[in-house]
Structure 1
C-alpha cells in the first residue's frame, strides 16, 4: 500500500529523464519520520553528503555545514569557539540528533561552549539532513530554529572498509594537525552485521600574533569510536545496538586579568561523550513500529595552571524511551502515533545538593494526506509535559503542491518551544565562578515561537533553484536580568524578558554548465529585531552568501568557494551596539581518484589569510588562518 510520500515520489521519478552528476533530489526522512524526496519534503531542507564533507576537508560539524541557506555562525568569546544559528534563532534553538537520537545539549548549560558539535567523527557520517524551521511537533524541546540530523554509515551485505589520513599545515604560527580514521562494516554470519569506526584528530592551538603567550584559537585532541551491531531475526524485523564514545581535550593559553600581575595560564578542558542506544524496528505490513532506548552523557572537567581556579566539573545525562507506530488509512493517508519519556539530569556544584533532574513526557501525532495526485498535506501536534514548568503544545501544518514535473510550491505554519535548562529553572541554583553571579528562577517559562514560510522549488536533471520566505516570532526569550551589584560583582537572575521577530529570504541554486563545470550558490537575507525596542539582534549577518564553481573531468575534481558574511550588529567591550563590517573567505579544494579505491585530496582554507581582528575589534571570534591540507583515502 502506497503512502502519500511514496506516491508523490513516484510522480517525480517518472518526470526525471537522466541522473545528474550530483544528486539534486535525494530521499530524506527528518522532516516527517517518513521517506520523501528532498523537493517534496514537508519542510525547508538541505542535505550535506559524505563526499561534500570530504571534498571540503571539514574536520568538524560547523565546517561541514557552512554555507547552508539560513545558517550563520556566532562567536562564543572563548578560544575561537563558534556556534551556529538557523534562521536567526539563537544557537540553543537548534536540536541536534544522531540517527534520530537526541544528544545532551551543552549550549546554555555550560557557558561559552560549543561541545554539542563534536560527538561524531566526520568520516563516520553518511549524510547530514538539516531542517530549517520549527519541528517541535515531532521532536519537542529545542527545535525552534531547526533540526540537524547526523546520519551515520550503515552496515553492508559484504565486508568493506576505508582508511583516511589528512594533515593540516597552517600559515606561520597557525594551528597544525592531523586526522586519521578507519571504518569497517560487513556481515557476521547468520542474521548479524557489524560496523566499526575509529578516529584520531589533533590540532595545536593558534597563538595570537601580537602576543604568542595567548591563543587565538584553542587546540583540540579528540579520539572517537563507534560500534553498530545489527540482528535481523526475520526479513521484516531489526534489532540494533549503537555505541558511541568520544574523548576530547581542549587547551588554550589564556590570561587572568582579575589578578595582580595578570598571570598567564594553560586552560584545559577534558570532555567525555558517550551515547548508547538499542532500537527495535518492525514492518508488520499493516503497520510499522519502532521502539528505542538511548542514553547520552557529557562529562566536562577543567584544569588551570599557575594557581588559577578551574571552573566546576559538570555532567549532563539524558535517558530516553521513545517509540512510534505508523500505518496507512487507505491509499492516500498515513498516520504516525508516538510517545517519548526523557529523564534529564545535571550534576553541578551550584545546584542544591550538587545535582537536579526533571522528567519530560510527550505524546505526538502526525497525519500525512494525499489530497489529490499533486497535493499533499502534513498535520502534526505534540503535547509535552515538563516535570517543573508544566505542559506545552506544538502544532504544525504543511502543504506541498507539485505544480509541474519540475516545480513544487510548499509552505506551512508551525509552533515550537525550548524548555529552560535545569540551571535556569532551579530556584536554588547559584553560579558564581567568574566576576558575575547567576541565580535560577522557578518562574521561568519556556521560550516559544510561531513561524510561517512559503517557498518554491524548481529542479530537473541538471539544475535546481529554490527560494523561501519566512517569519519567525519568538517570545519569552530567556536572558539574565541584572538584580543588583555587590561591590565589583554583578548579580543576575534568569528571566523571560525579551521577544524577537526574524524575517528572512533563503535562496539556493545549482546549474550544471557542461564540460564538467557547475555553479552553485546559497544566499540568505535576514532582518532580526528585538520586538520591544526594534533594535537589531546581535550576531546575525544581514546578508550572507556562498557561491562556488565546481569542475569534474574523469578522475579529477576541483572546487572554488567564496563565503561572504555581510554586515552585522555586535556589542563592543563597553556593551554598546555597533555595526561590524562584512568579510569574505576563499577556500580551494581538489582531488584525484586513482584506480583500486584510492583518492588524493588537497585544499586551502582561508586562502587570502583573512584575520577578523584586523577588520574590527568587534569580532569576538577568530577564523582559522590560511591552512593547507592534504589527505589520502583508501577503500577496500
Structure 2
C-alpha cells in the first residue's frame, strides 16, 4: 500500500509476498551464462541471483534490438511500467512504476539524481537512447537507499563506457516526418585508462498533436522537435583497486507544442519549449584494504526550461542540484555492510517568484546484505534531514530463498516518502488564474 500525508513528507509502505508463485531471479538470466551484475538494488555490485529485490536490466544489445525510438517507450516494455506523454517527441512525459505517479519514482544517471524540484519529475524525453549503455530498474519502495520520492521505484541510467581497443562508431538515419537521427562516438580502454565520447543530433518535423479541428486549441502546424546531446566518460586506474573518473551527460532540445492558452487567439501562436538537461560528476573509488572500499562522488545536475509564444518568452524555470556522497563498502565475515553519508542542495530560479528558493538534505544510511547458502537477506535504514520538513526515517527488510539457480521466492517490506515540490508549496495560485 502507499499513502501520503501533508504538510510533512508523506510515507508509504509496500509488502511483497510470494506473489502466489515463484518467479525468475532476473528477466535476462535465462539468456545469459552468468547473472548480470546489478548496482541499484543494494548500491553495491551484486549478482542478480543474490538479490531480494524486483530488478530488471536492459542492456545495450537489448536497446539496439528493441526498435524503440524513445526512452519512455523502451521502459514501458518492462513489467509494471507505463508511460504518459502530452504529445509528440520531446513533450512532457512521465513513467509510472507499479501505479505510482511520475513524481513518486526517481531517476539516476551514473549515480547522480536528476529531475526538476518544481515538478518533481525527470525529463526522460530528453535522454537519447544512443547515449545509454544499460538501464537498471528497481521496483518498490527504495527511500531507505535513495531518499525522498522513491516510492514506486528507481530507474538508473548508465552512459556508455569504453574498454578494449579504440573503436569508432557512427550511424545516421532518415524516416517519417523528415526525421534525421545521427550519432558518432569513440571509445576504448586499457588496464590504466578507459574513455568514451558520444555525440548525437535528432531533428524531426513530427506531427500535429491536436487533430480535432473543433478543439479550441487546434493549431494546424506540426509540432516538431530537435535535440543535440553529448556524453563523456573518462577514468584512470593508477593502481589495483584505485580509480578516479568523471561522467558527463548534456542534452539540449526544443519542441513545439499546441497552445496552453485556452483561447482561439492562443491556439494560433507557435509555442516552443527549450530545455537543457545536464549531469556532471567526478568520483574516486579506493580499496583501502582487503575489506574496505571507499567511494567519494561530487556532482551537479541541471534541468532548465524556457517557454516561448512566438518570439516572446513566457517563462523560465531552472533547477540546480548539487550532490555529494561518501559511501563505504565493508566486507564482513558474513555478508557486506554499507555505510554512507549524502548531501544534496536543490535550488530553483526563473520567472516565478517562490517564497523559498532552495533547500538542503543531509542523509545518513546503512545497510547489510548477505547470501548464506540458499538464503538471501538485505536490511537498510536511512535518515534524511530536510531543511524544510525536518527528519524522516525509512527502512526496509527482505528475505529470499533460492530453490533452484533460476527460481527464488522472497518476502520484503519497505517504507518510503515523498517530499512536496516547490510548485506544490510556493507556486503563486493567482498567476495560474491570470493565465487562464
Q: TM-score range by the shorter chain?
A: 0.7 to 0.9
Alignment check: 8 A CA contact 1:255 1:264 kept:
no
**Is the counterpart of residue 226 in structure 1 residue 231 in structure 2?**
yes
> Hey, what's the Cα distance between the residues in 2 that align with 1:119 and 1:262?
26
Other-structure match for 1:121: 128
Residue 61 of structure 2 aligns to a residue in which SS? helix
Alignment check: 8 A CA contact 1:28 1:35 kept:
yes
Residue 163 of structure 2 aligns to a residue in which SS? coil
Q: CA deviation at 1:283?
A: 1.7
Alignment check: 8 A CA contact 1:92 1:107 kept:
no
Other-structure match for 1:185: 187
Other-structure match for 1:267: 271
The structure with the largest alpha-carbon Rg is 1
Q: CA deviation at 1:129?
A: 0.7
Q: CA deviation at 1:400?
A: 1.5
Q: CA deviation at 1:231?
A: 1.7
Pair 28,270 (structure 1): closer, same or farther in 2 beyond 3 Å: same
Q: How many matched pairs?
A: 402
> Hey, what's the Cα distance between the residues in 2 that align with 1:176 and 1:186?
34
> Hey, what's the Cα distance between the residues in 2 that align with 1:296 and 1:60?
21
Q: CA deviation at 1:411?
A: 2.1
Q: Which runs of 5+ in 1 are unaligned?
A: 1-18, 170-174, 438-488, 490-636
The 5 Å alignment of 1:472-483 reads none
Other-structure match for 1:165: 172
Alignment check: 8 A CA contact 2:281 2:298 kept:
yes
Other-structure match for 1:419: 419
Q: CA deviation at 1:432?
A: 4.2
Other-structure match for 1:8: none
> Hey, what's the Cα distance between the residues in 1 that align with 2:203 and 2:118?
23
Other-structure match for 2:248: 243
The 5 Å alignment of 1:579-590 reads none
Spell out, residue by residue over 1:290-320, the C-alpha distance to the aligned partner (whole angstroms, 9 max, x if none).
00001001111111128xx754201100000
> Hey, what's the Cα distance between the residues in 2 that align with 1:263 and 1:158?
54
TM-score, normalising length: structure 1: 0.59
> Hey, what's the Cα distance between the residues in 2 that align with 1:190 and 1:400?
37
Residue 315 of structure 1, aligned match among 315, 318, 322: 318
Other-structure match for 2:66: 56
Q: CA deviation at 1:433?
A: 4.2
Pair 401,209 (structure 1): closer, same or farther in 2 beyond 3 Å: same
**Is the counterpart of residue 28 in structure 1 residue 38 in structure 2?**
yes
Q: CA deviation at 1:59?
A: 2.6
Other-structure match for 1:66: 76
Other-structure match for 2:52: 42
Other-structure match for 2:116: 105
Other-structure match for 1:156: 163
Pair 55,142 (structure 1): closer, same or farther in 2 beyond 3 Å: same
Q: CA deviation at 1:115?
A: 5.5
> Hey, what's the Cα distance between the residues in 2 that align with 1:87 and 1:215?
37
Q: CA deviation at 1:403?
A: 1.8
Residue 94 of structure 1, aligned match among 100, 105, 109: 105
Residue 357 of structure 2 aligns to a residue in which SS? strand
**Is the counterpart of residue 304 in structure 1 residue 302 in structure 2?**
no
The 5 Å alignment of 1:328-339 reads 328-330=331-333, 332-339=334-341
Q: CA deviation at 1:391?
A: 0.7
Q: CA deviation at 1:39?
A: 3.9
Other-structure match for 2:373: 373
Q: Which runs of 5+ in 2 are unaligned?
A: 1-28
Q: CA deviation at 1:20?
A: 5.9
Alignment check: 8 A CA contact 1:43 1:411 kept:
no
TM-score, normalising length: structure 2: 0.84
> Hey, what's the Cα distance between the residues in 2 that align with 1:399 and 1:215?
57
Please give the root-mean-square deviation of Cα atoms over the aligned residues, in Å: 2.7
> Hey, what's the Cα distance between the residues in 1 that align with 2:381 and 2:137?
21
The 5 Å alignment of 1:285-300 reads 285-300=290-305
The 5 Å alignment of 1:165-564 reads 165-169=172-176, 175-187=177-189, 191-207=192-208, 208-211=210-213, 214=219, 218-254=223-259, 256-258=261-263, 263-284=267-288, 285-305=290-310, 310-330=313-333, 332-352=334-354, 356-370=357-371, 372-426=372-426, 429-435=427-433
Alignment check: 8 A CA contact 1:205 1:215 kept:
no
Q: Considering fraction of residues, name the structure with more strand.
A: 1
Residue 144 of structure 2, aligned match among 137, 141, 156: 137
Alignment check: 8 A CA contact 1:104 1:317 kept:
no
> Hey, what's the Cα distance between the residues in 2 that align with 1:158 and 1:280?
24
Spell out, residue by residue over 1:472-495, the C-alpha distance to the aligned partner (whole angstroms, 9 max, x if none).
xxxxxxxxxxxxxxxxx7xxxxxx
Pair 215,313 (structure 1): closer, same or farther in 2 beyond 3 Å: farther
Alignment check: 8 A CA contact 2:361 2:384 kept:
yes
Alignment check: 8 A CA contact 1:362 1:383 kept:
yes
Pair 435,364 (structure 1): closer, same or farther in 2 beyond 3 Å: same
> Hey, what's the Cα distance between the residues in 1 that align with 2:358 and 2:367?
29
Q: CA deviation at 1:407?
A: 2.0
Pair 192,36 (structure 1): closer, same or farther in 2 beyond 3 Å: closer
Pair 66,289 (structure 1): closer, same or farther in 2 beyond 3 Å: same
Alignment check: 8 A CA contact 2:292 2:330 kept:
yes
Alignment check: 8 A CA contact 2:395 2:414 kept:
yes
Q: CA deviation at 1:323?
A: 1.2
